[in-house]
């Protein structure tokens, strides 16, 4: 930069040179701020600032050194500049063999980038509702895989052998646990009105009778399933000294979900909270965020990933957080809330028109209408053909309701963060068209 | 395309329009060929052709549909176009919940892209030495993690509980297995001359006495460790009906390593062969390739990953394969072989000058010189400061030699695929400078 | 595309394949529409659609043909892919030797791109207020140079030797005419109240007494200069059979300016209207748009440029028009109007506070406040240092007022298209700070 | 940068931080060198270094200042980030109203970029054969337009009214002069053997009898036209105090052409030498380079362009020069020479096979074979369809031979800089196929 300034002063009039440096400084200021403070920025950065930041960081990695002499078996050599661009230049990935957040001597820039991202997302999650978590980590893995890694870390450190899992009809977390070989004890759910809820009595009973137990609680799923009462579960875990992992897949977007987790941490024992990057922070699919009230827990999870990992999910999250910023995130949250209300109201209207009704289930993101007596699969297929993506149509008694013999068929729609009023209104129109047209 | 042609004919003279279409067709021909045949191309594609192919594919995903009505909780919404560019547009990632290669209805293009990549890399590996493998899969995970997933799949399908692992001083595979909870029985190594080799007698004895066993064999590591005799191990596994996973981390670059695996498959039992994307195919770090003689094995591994995954390692491998092509890969292999010979010769010379000697160890990529009586750590640190990346300096008896009490200190260097003669020559110069300067 | 569809049907379930094609078609539909109709689109295209359109077009040029055999002295060979990217792939530029819009046999795509851009901008200008122009052309030249080219074309075709130019204190058009060697007869201006206006009597007198005359009229400049009465001048030109070129530098943004030109064309003789690309259509600096009521005039101007030209200004305009669209342009115009009113109101307030007054001059974009008794240069310098760009501070009697001995010092600010309310409010704050601080 | 270093030291181990800074410094060193010395670099820069340099420079322009308050009518506002990328961020273009190289206060970075480019290309041309030129300028205009601007500058400064132009059958320079209104006196050519040459007697006679004359001499054209004897013409111009402009369109690639111009400057009067950017330096079409022995001449030409101009041709040249470097340029020149010899030899062979002969004409780039008795137009059309671009087939007596009644039909091919041996060999094959197939 000093070179630039010196040159400017020789080549253009002094006041112009000074003006140029002011512009450059103003442009770099938020980048420096991020490097310095590693906080979730209030205001978003411009695309060019983000690109510049990434370029600066990736330029610290040894594969960029034109004078490096490379005699390792793995030196981040890439076939063409295009391939490097596809990785935003972070060709060394992140991590070291056996520790996914350890500084990598060949990849100083990637190491720094990862630290910044981890610190920034931790700051974001703290400010978005969990001030009582202390440390966080982005894993280039699905939420399900990260739950698996979390449990494997808890096994290594605390001797966990079994996990109690209040039933959620979702394959991914189950497979994540299956990978670890830890025994899953499925906990039953109960039907209360329309809602399907965790059976707290069963959990309490089982926890007492299980050695080396742990628990997975779930905050976000589709109606009729409701969030698990994480505060109660956390207390139970505290009482029985049992580790608790919360699957908070897309709960960061919801103030109420975050509030429930916050009070769970305050009131009881929560070891780890796992959430998706894409479902909460508008990134491409592929990463998850693990946060914990105790810093050492995160270290332990980090040591559970075997080898170096793709930098892509980390870079994408860093870019996304930086492009959104706290202020806009709060606006997005407010829009989500408004759209969720709209979705409820419109679905109610539609239900009335077609002789169905809304399921009376508490859910911050999703909403369901019965389609009793109708062909759920047909409705699903027709909505797909109408270019409505993401609704779920479930037949009475089918897998998906998180309980055997759920008494209704129903269709679920979401008003998730990033969705627009247009989406909600059009989806309802199409639903009406489809349902009325059957 | 027909639109374009029609327009051209209206707007420019006929022969010009035809000429334009010929150019466009010639440009698209290799892309069509890849879509059609999904083979490792002989000739490389141009950067712009690769970009076009990726753009075409990612444009099939529903998040690109301007008329899609999105009411799911996960709709590949991204914060800004920059974030999408960082993912080459594959914002939906790859896979479905619970099956990482299942076609994803919202991500038709990503599904296709992944299938093409898997087919192409399988073709590449078949033509590069393993014609007897049938199916392959790119996982967005490190080699160590993929070994873990492979074993977890073998546990689920075949009841594996224990794995025999001839000692290699490398943390990543160990952690990969640890994640699964499968018991590791470390198999001892023996010293024969300078070389450290798997103790076949110990393996044979243990395999007989172990229920639900499996074996990991390793083809590529640093001297003094030599490759495991995979053919013999495969025969043993065949005889005892024990699954075998081969960790072929960077063996694709070597004809001789591939030949040994090929004969292992022919002569005995090999269930899975795992290799790194970056170490063999000049991609950024973050992926691995799992291939198997039986197609169903790959399906089983695919079902072991929990949830959707980042598309980045898959896209990067596809781009890299397409940018290299078979012909150039063969040239790269020939260069690797030549550089390996040069490395041996120059290291020999240097050893003689400084009163040391070469370790007499067979290794297709690496070569080691003793540094007995010298401070290995000091040598390592000085080489790092001389901007030599990737050499390993190991003290007598230290972790890294894959045996207790290895009698030499030594320094290892690699002539891996993609390294240049310049790297080898400069590294030797620096090594001499450092060693002579102690 | 057919290939893609075929492949999809083989590789993914039928309904998914169909869904993918629907997305792709929806994405391509606006591109096809532009190729077909070459109109200014109502709705903007997405960045990725624009990039795709440009890539498709540039891929028709012969330098992209991998089988082309190139034995010309000029074959659009470029040093590296980066250099090609800097030209969006249009390495052949636009035009042929001696005709800047003639189809170039080696550059079918660039030829098509240029035709689309010319047609689209002509459509835009017609719909933005000049339905009576028939043909248009983007020149990769400044407005001043394009005025020069226009006059040179009028000399060649109609024998123009002299141009009457009602005084505007702007160097660029003067230099553009000077380049052609055509004699400039500066026409005086007169002071009416605060406003400086063209002296119509002088023009009328001179036009009668000048052989082979032509006229340049100006619609947009800074106060105290007002727009020339183009309708009156056009009538005069009609009466005396004298060609008229209108310098409409940044008038497209203003409905009232466009209305005056429209009525000038209807009521009298207008040969050519020249406008800037960047000042009206938010492109980078470097192009201008020449439109004319008679198609042949545009042909004649096109034949006046010598050789092939950079495609950049044409590509940039095409991208910009496509990224804005008619609807958004109308919004931008409405914002401009509102900001102009705000600027007037705030400047009025400020003037009152500091004992100055607004100049009573009609101007659709700019507004001026007297700074009598103050040091105009000091004010200009301080505003520059306050990071206010674009204001003009002129001392009494100085060049810039378009008349000798203008009786006021004043400062001018603009509320041009693309400026924001923030700009206007901050500029006024800073102006007050500077003026009050003197 | 200091920030980065400080951060690194806090976040990663000290030796890693230092290593990262070494990489960054090594990467930035050639960029700093270019900013400091503004010379044609010996070694090329990497793509990422060039992109970084451009980004750094464009970030000095006021439109990048997030705190700039913009109240001008022209503030480099752009529709979308894509549009800015299409201009590499130089949205303000280059130059000021009335001086295309004057520093633009709003565009400090573009001003600097332009100065660097002008200095670098001047250095390149000096080192590539014209050490006796002193100053140079890139104009975003065709060679023909630049010749026009040059003459217009000479008219303004020295009173030139007429230009003597030894006949070359090329429209572009003629139109460039026509634009200025300067009278063209075409000078005849004479036939000597096969060659068409300038008639020096006619020039000498006319120069004596013409007031306010100037001369355009041409160094590069197609056979049968030979280069003008620029040394003799320069002496004549010196003797008669007549300005000389040399059209050196694609002569920089040829040592012999450059030598002839060098001796012309030494021996006589040369005012201006104009050359193409794309034909000599592998850039996209759209720029030309004006160099002169006297610095003030370049200033005068710069003042002749009216207004600001597109930065694209300047940026593209800067990128191209930086991506090639002196060493590679010399290799390219050597390849060109070899390919030209090959072209001659193969064309000779072909001529013998089909009963024609080579035209005996001296030309550093092109070579021609007679096609007497054949249909030249048919040959041209067939070569076009065979994807041979750039050959010229001319019928006996037709426009193109630069003389009336040239006695042969012939076909011309070029071995220009950047063409490959493959091009030459394939073109000859196709030519034989076409000619033999008639």
pLDDT for the residue numbered D97: 77
Instruction: Name, in order, each residue with C-beta under 8 angstroms of D25's C-beta and a sequence gap of 6 or more.
Output: none
Size of interface A-D (CB pairs under 8 A): 133
Average pLDDT of chain A is 95
| Residue-by-residue DSSP string for A319-362 | HHHHHHHHHHHHHHHHHHHHHHHHHHHHHHHHHHHHT--B----
pLDDT for the residue numbered A358: 97
pLDDT digits (tens, 9 = 90+) for A102-133: 888 899 999 999 999 999 999 999 999 999 99
Neighbors of chain D by Cβ distance (3+ pairs < 8 Å): A, B, C
Residue with the bigger pLDDT between A350 and A99: it is: A350
For β-strands D189-192 and D195-198, DSSP reports them as: antiparallel
Average pLDDT over residues D219-238: 98
In this predicted structure, the answer to whether residue B372 has a pLDDT above a threshold of 90 is yes
Reply yes or no on whether C74 is catalytic.
yes
The verdict on C69 touching D (C-beta cutoff 8 Å) is: yes
Instruction: Name, in order, each residue with C-beta under 8 angstroms of D138's C-beta and a sequence gap of 6 or more.
Output: D114, D117, D118, D121, D277, D287, D288, D289, D290, D313, D314, D317
Q: CB C22: neighbour CB atoms within 10 A?
A: 18
B4-18, D159-173, D365-379: which range is least confident on average?
B4-18
Across the interface, do A12 and D52 touch by the CB < 8 Å criterion? no
A contact test, residue of D2, D5, D16, D37 with most A CBs within 10 A: D16
Q: Give ipTM to 2 decimals.
A: 0.96
The verdict on B92 touching A (C-beta cutoff 8 Å) is: yes
Interface of D with C in 395-414 (CB under 8 A): 413-414
Across the interface, do A15 and C385 touch by the CB < 8 Å criterion? yes
**Structure-token match 């009598």, residue found:** C372
For residue B176, give the nearest of A144, A306, A316 by CB distance.
A306
Cα torsion D60, D63, D67, D69: sign = positive
> Nearest-CA distance from A38 to chain D in Å?
11
Average pLDDT over residues B399-415: 97
A2-11 and D14-37 are packed helices; what angle lies between their axes, rounded to 10 degrees? 10
Label residue A1 by pLDDT band (50, 70, 90): low
Element (H, E) at B189: strand B189-192
Reply yes or no on whether A197 is catalytic.
no
For chain A, the structural domain boundaries read 328-436
d(CA B111, CA C16) in angstroms, rounded, equals 10
Across the interface, do C3 and B48 touch by the CB < 8 Å criterion? no
> Nearest-CA distance from B14 to chain A in Å?
36
| Whether D387 contacts C65, CB under 8 Å | yes
| Nearest chain D alpha carbon to C45 | D80
pLDDT for the residue numbered C7: 65
The verdict on C83 touching B (C-beta cutoff 8 Å) is: no
| Nearest chain C alpha carbon to D307 | C172
What does pTM read for this prediction?
A: 0.95
pLDDT digits (tens, 9 = 90+) for A166-215: 999 999 999 999 999 999 999 999 999 999 999 999 999 999 999 999 99
| Nearest chain B alpha carbon to D26 | B387
For residue D285, give the nearest of C91, C279, C413 by CB distance.
C91
In this predicted structure, the answer to whether residue D147 has a pLDDT above a threshold of 90 is yes
Burial D278-312 (b: 16+ CB within 10 A, else e): bbbbbbbbbbbbbbbbeeebbbbbbbbbbbbbbbb
| Nearest chain D alpha carbon to B14 | D385
Q: Which of A39, A64, A96, A185 is catalytic?
A: A96
Span D328-436 CATH architecture: Alpha-Beta Complex (3.90)
For residue B284, give the nearest of A51, A78, A365 by CB distance.
A78
pLDDT for the residue numbered D4: 62
For residue D88, give the nearest of C68, C86, C250 by CB distance.
C86
In this predicted structure, the answer to whether residue A53 has a pLDDT above a threshold of 90 is yes
pLDDT for the residue numbered D376: 97
Across the interface, do C68 and D156 touch by the CB < 8 Å criterion? no
Across the interface, do A81 and D26 touch by the CB < 8 Å criterion? no
In this predicted structure, the answer to whether residue B282 has a pLDDT above a threshold of 80 is yes
d(CA B422, CA A391) in angstroms, rounded, equals 58
Reply yes or no on whether A19 is catalytic.
no
Q: Which of B55, B97, B420, B421 is catalytic?
A: B97
For residue D384, give the nearest of B15, B381, B387 by CB distance.
B15
Average pLDDT over residues D4-10: 67
Across the interface, do A310 and B285 touch by the CB < 8 Å criterion? yes
Q: Which two tokens stand for residue D144?
A: 């023909």
> Which residue stretches of chain C have pLDDT < 70?
1-5, 7-9, 11
Residue A64 DSSP code: G
A4-8, A27-31, A355-359: which range is least confident on average?
A4-8
Alpha helices, DSSP H, located in A90-183: 108-127, 143-158, 171-180
Q: CB A356: neighbour CB atoms within 10 A?
A: 21
| Residue-by-residue DSSP string for B56-109 | HHHTTBGGG-TT-EE-SS-----SSHHHHHHTTT-TT-B-BTTBTTSPBTTBHH
Query: How many angstroms separate the most distant Cα atoms in chain A?
Result: 82
In this predicted structure, the answer to whether residue B6 has a pLDDT above a threshold of 80 is no
Label residue D418 by pLDDT band (50, 70, 90): very high
In this predicted structure, the answer to whether residue D161 has a pLDDT above a threshold of 70 is yes
> Nearest-CA distance from C94 to chain B in Å?
14
Residue with the bigger pLDDT between A301 and A4: it is: A301
| Whether D253 contacts D262, CB under 8 Å | no
Label residue B16 by pLDDT band (50, 70, 90): confident
Reply yes or no on whether B97 is catalytic.
yes
The verdict on B8 touching C (C-beta cutoff 8 Å) is: yes
Reply yes or no on whether C426 is catalytic.
no
The verdict on D33 touching A (C-beta cutoff 8 Å) is: no
Alpha helices, DSSP H, located in D159-271: 171-180, 200-209, 230-240, 255-267
Omega before D224 within 30 of 0, i.e. cis: yes
| Residue-by-residue DSSP string for D334-381 | HHHHHHHHHHHHHHHHHHHHTT--B-----SSEEEEE-TTS-HHHHHH
Length of chain A: 438
The verdict on D384 touching B (C-beta cutoff 8 Å) is: yes
Reply yes or no on whether B104 is catalytic.
yes
What is chain A's Cα-based Rg?
Answer: 24
Label residue A8 by pLDDT band (50, 70, 90): low
CA D309, distance to chain mean position in Å, is 18
The verdict on B384 touching D (C-beta cutoff 8 Å) is: yes
Label residue D379 by pLDDT band (50, 70, 90): very high
Residues of D classed as catalytic: 74, 96-97, 104, 170, 249, 279, 308
């Amino acid at each position: 930069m000093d070179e630039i300034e010196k040159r400017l002063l020789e080549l253009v009039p002094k006041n112009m040179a000074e003006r140029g440096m002011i512009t450059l400084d103003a442009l770099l200021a938020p980048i420096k701020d991020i490097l310095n403070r590693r906080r979730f920025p209030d205001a978003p950065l411009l695309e060019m600032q983000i690109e510049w930041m990434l370029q600066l960081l990736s330029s610290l990695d040894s594969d960029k050194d034109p004078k490096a002499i490379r005699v390792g078996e793995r030196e981040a050599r890439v076939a063409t500049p295009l391939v490097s661009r596809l990785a935003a230049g972070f060709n060394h990935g992140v991590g070291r063999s056996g520790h996914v957040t350890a500084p990598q001597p060949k990849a100083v820039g990637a190491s720094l980038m990862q630290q910044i991202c981890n610190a920034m997302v931790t700051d974001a999650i703290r400010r978005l509702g969990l001030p009582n978590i202390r440390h966080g980590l982005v894993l280039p893995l699905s939420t399900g895989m990260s739950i698996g890694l979390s449990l494997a870390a808890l096994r290594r450190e605390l001797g966990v052998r079994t996990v109690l899992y209040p039933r959620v009809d979702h394959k991914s977390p189950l497979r994540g646990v299956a990978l670890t070989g830890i025994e899953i004890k499925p906990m039953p759910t109960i039907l209360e009105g329309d809602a399907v809820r965790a059976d707290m009595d069963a959990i309490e009973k089982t926890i007492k009778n299980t050695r080396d137990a742990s628990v997975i609680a779930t905050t976000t799923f589709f109606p009729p399933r409701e969030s698990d009462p994480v505060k109660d579960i956390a207390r139970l875990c505290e009482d029985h000294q049992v580790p608790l992992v919360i699957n908070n897949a897309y709960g960061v977007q919801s103030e109420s979900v975050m509030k429930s987790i916050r009070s769970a941490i305050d009131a009881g024992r929560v070891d780890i909270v796992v959430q998706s990057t894409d479902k909460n922070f508008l990134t491409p699919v592929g990463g998850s965020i693990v946060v914990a009230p105790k810093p050492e827990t995160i270290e332990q999870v980090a040591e559970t990933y075997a080898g170096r990992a793709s930098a892509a999910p980390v870079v994408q999250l860093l870019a996304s957080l930086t492009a959104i910023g706290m202020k806009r995130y709060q606006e997005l949250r407010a829009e989500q809330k408004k759209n969720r209300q709209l979705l409820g109201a419109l679905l109610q209207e539609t239900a009335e028109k077609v002789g169905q009704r809304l399921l009376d289930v508490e859910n911050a993101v999703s909403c369901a209408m019965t389609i009793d007596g109708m062909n759920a699969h047909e409705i699903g297929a027709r909505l797909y053909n109408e270019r409505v993506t993401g609704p779920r149509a479930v037949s009475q008694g089918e897998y998906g309701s998180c309980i055997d013999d759920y008494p209704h068929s129903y269709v679920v729609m979401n008003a998730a963060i990033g969705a627009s009023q247009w989406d909600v209104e059009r989806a309802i129109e199409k639903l009406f068209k489809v349902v009325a047209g059957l």
